[in-house]
Structure 1
Amino acid sequence: MAPVVVAAPEIQHREPGMSSRHRKGKSSKPARFGQFDRSFVLRVLRNYLFSALLLLVLLLGFTYLLFRYQFETEAPDQTRQTAEALASDVTSIMINKGGPVASRTVYPILERNYDRLGYDIAILPSNATVESIEKRFDFTPKGIPSQWPEAGRYKEASVTLSAQSFCLQCHVDAGIGDPLGTVVVRNYFASYLEKWREDATLSAIAGMANIIISTVIIFCVMRALMEPVLRLRAMVSRWAKGILPMSERIEVKSDDEFGELAHDLNLTLDRIFGILEDLRGNVARQKAIDSEVGREIARLSRMAEQLRRDAQRSEAPGETSREPMLQDLANSIRRLDDLCNNLRDVLSSHEGLMKRLE
């Protein structure tokens, strides 16, 4: 009978820290952290500035629409009232005997005054007035000629001046009730819009000054209020980058929400350290078991090798073969070796985790 040959299992020992997950060579870049005040405070200020400017633009747009609405609804009445006031001014001049002569001096003044108010005016004498003044004062009255802008939307109102008893001493060719002339007032939208531009300019300047001042105040207040958060963020950033050991704790300086946050973070770190201590103890116990299992595997391997040699020397013809028993022993040794290798992988993973947490 051929001798029984049982090969002792080849035990492969894996180095700690070389599990399949670690052997892939996967590396991760350190996380990048920006400054807290650049990523939050300035972002809040930027959003505030954008919102405030948008609100200011919307306010100016609303006032513009309101001015357009007022021009369509209120400008006609305002223009009519202005025309009546101008007619009253002209009548006051006509009461005096020297009114026609004085009008040549007063009319330019009236024109300038009404122009400052945003109105274009014209005083148009009638034929009876022209003929009477030429006979009585030996000059041709021109009033205020109508020199209107070439284009533009406007509201117009006119008032006819009728002759009264006191007018007949100068207007010799006119009778009571005859038309002596017409005053015309135009309110152009461009002049009306100029008022809005002046108000809008003042509002914009005041609004921008208010926004700038409030932005500076908000920035200072937020910097003061966010100081505890800035300290928390600096500590967490140094922990994440590995600059500060995890044994360090945050100093709690207040009993508000930020102080509670720092306290809770310290408690979280304490729990992590407790878990690390438990994990470290488990790793130590698993290492001891791995060492003991390794020694038993080596002893069994030596026994299997010795049995193989003894079987080759002492097995007699017709004696029951020991090959199945030896084969089972070799398979058991291989399974123990695989379990030992798996245990080393777990230990390697735990050690890597502890190093990262530390």
Structure 2
Amino acid sequence: MKKIVLTGGGTAGHVTPNIALMPSLIEEGYEIEYIGSYTGIEKQLIEAENIPYHCISSGKLRRYFSTKNFSDIFRVLRGIIQANRLLRKIKPDVVFSKGGFVSVPVCLAAGFRHIPVIIHESDMTPGLANRIAMKKATNVCCNFPETVKYLPEGKAVLTGSPIRQELLKGDKNAGLRLCGFNDKKPIILVVGGSTGAKHVNDAIYDVLPELLEKYQVCHLCGKGKTEPKYDTLPGYKQFEYISEEMKDLFAMADIVVSRAGANAICELLALKKPNLLIPLSAKASRGDQILNAKSFKEHGYSLVLDEDELIKDDKIQGKLLLDEINKLYDNKDSFISKMSESKQADSIANIIELIKKNTK
């Protein structure tokens, strides 16, 4: 049987595309094993899929000076040694990486062992982890046409981003039951990513009474970021994180407020959900979400609210958020129309063919 090692982690966005590929990989006769970190969200998500999971050490590679950079170098080196041992034992025919810092030791070790490596870059420009790992890659898949110019010549393949097919099969009534909502008021789904988004959460709380006059609000706050004092508000439901029922929440939602991670926005596009994107500020990131959001805004798929406008002089501009949400809802049909015109690539089929081509 053909074997493939999947890797990637740190956030759900570095894991869910791998999960989206799994049914097709199994259908093609691949035996799947996963290499991730000891404590990342990937461990929980992959073990839930009953896929063999192996832990390695990983360190964050920072672009700024930090004393942790010195200790993390040794964590990365330890991770490379551990990944090398695992690859020698598993003997995969090919490695597929979705990125995140845990993937770097795996890709480097695979390169040393002459195992074909395919990397997927979801964002407009490649992150540091993928820029390091792609030196050992056979091919680098990308999501945006604009990304090709940032990738090594001859390695780039425009595939699109794998979307979990079950997201397309949501049950609105199941979502309503889960949240205790009805169909008398429109529903906003607020998604801050698997780790949550404090500024987005705080801004939602700031205008929650006004929002609940017109809407019902389902709020995914992130691990450890829920606020119990809001639990009893009629028309408001909060969760730390949702996995299996996410399809039902999407089916239930009329509009979505979201960060602008590439995987998240591609899911919104596939589902044709009108959305307000609040990309992570360049002060707290390399600015990839800002570029993603700009592309979607230019295509007419999204409204965009800059985080620096939302939080100005350390004060939440709640009215601005409220106005943008109302604007989105009032014009939702035009956004649905634009998204319906999108020629969404058959990304799963594209990537599976690339994996088959590179299988030793």
Same fold (TM over 0.5): no
Q: Which has the larger radius of gyration?
A: 1
- Considering fraction of residues, name the structure with more helix: 1
TM-score where L is the length of structure 2 = 0.17
Tell me: higher relative CO, structure 1 or 2? Use CA pairs within 8 A at least 6 residues apart. 1
TM-score where L is the length of structure 1 = 0.17
